[in-house]
Amino acid sequence: MIATPLGDALGQAIIVENRGGANGVIGTETVARATPDGYTLGLFSLSAHAGVATLNKRLPYDSVKGFAPITFVARSPLVLVVGSSNNAQSVADMIASAHAAGRPIFFATAGFGISTHIAGELLKLAAAQHKVEMVVVPFKGGGPAMVAVMSGQVDMQFNPLSSILPFVSDGRLRPLAIADRQRSTLLPSVPTMAESGYPDFYIIESWGLLAPAGTPPEIVRRLAIETVKILQQPDRVRRLASQGVELAPTTPRQLTAFMEAEIEKYRDVIQRAGITTE
């Protein structure tokens, strides 16, 4: 979405190289260690970035100071979904049914410390007050995790709005609540987690564009200006919005503030839930 038009604007070919692994640490380290000349950039999942900042005690970079922020790129709120065979019509239904049956709620995640896991752990902390246990079930990837929910192998999961829309449309997933500050126009009948009785339950998947620390300010400024132009193009905004992704460019300073706030939010949940990667 960004590489081709940004390359055109800069007069440079931009090559997209996907480097997965270790909840994003491998790709992130590649950017942190790159020459700070504006020729290596990283498009990061800011939620995964926030989670590993606490869970990984030996990160090979500083999660904030190791980078020169360019702009926040996009956001997609998480939605709590169950399979079509699940009788729950609301979060309260799901909690009450588990309590009545005296059994735990099993929730799927594609990795530890990422947004979908942290959201589940946050609900787990709240469910404990109703004497309901929740158990995380990790899967190797978002696809297998979603299939497990659709098949009824596990009870529920949180997943970005952008990921669940096709499966809600065809009836294989039922949304119970959205972890955003307001309802989505794409799912107007689905209440927020706050409306469902969980105040301040706000968890989104988000992405940001960063360069290595030490990248000259004039280069960061040029990259920010050109990228923001791309992210503000009306056709692109409308197309992504219809898929559950909100393009939301910011200043570099605003991106830094968001990263710091996400790290603190995730650290609070991780510490209260006693999450470790051991």
Per-position pLDDT tens, the chain of length 278: 999 999 999 999 999 999 988 888 999 999 999 999 999 999 999 999 999 999 998 999 999 999 999 999 999 999 999 999 999 999 999 999 999 999 999 999 988 899 999 999 999 999 999 899 999 999 988 889 999 999 999 999 999 999 999 999 999 999 999 999 999 999 999 999 999 999 989 999 999 999 999 999 999 999 999 999 999 999 999 999 999 999 999 999 999 999 999 999 999 999 999 988 75
Summary count for the chain: helices (H), strands (E): 10, 8
How far apart, in whole angstroms, are the C-alpha atoms of residue 271 and residue 54? Answer: 9
Hey, where are the domains in the chain?
Answer: 3-75+203-273, 76-178
Class of domain 3-75+203-273: alpha beta
Backbone phi, psi, residue 207, to 5°: -135, 145
- Residue 278: the pLDDT is 57
- Which fold would CATH assign to domain 76-178? D-Maltodextrin-Binding Protein; domain 2 (3.40.190)
How far apart, in whole angstroms, are the C-alpha atoms of residue 63 and residue 141? Answer: 24
Identical fold between 3-75+203-273 and 76-178: yes
- Residue 21: the pLDDT is 82
Answer whether 12's CB lies under 8 Å from 36's CB. Answer: no
Structure tokens at 141: 């990837």
How far apart, in whole angstroms, are the C-alpha atoms of residue 154 and residue 26? Answer: 30
To which residue do tokens 């590649």 refer? 30
Structure tokens at 163: 């990921």
- 129, amino acid identity: Q
Q: State how far the alpha carbon of 41 is from the alpha carbons of 34, 151, 246, in Å.
A: 9, 39, 21
**List of residues 6+ apart from 162 with CB closer than 8 A:** 76, 205, 243, 244, 245
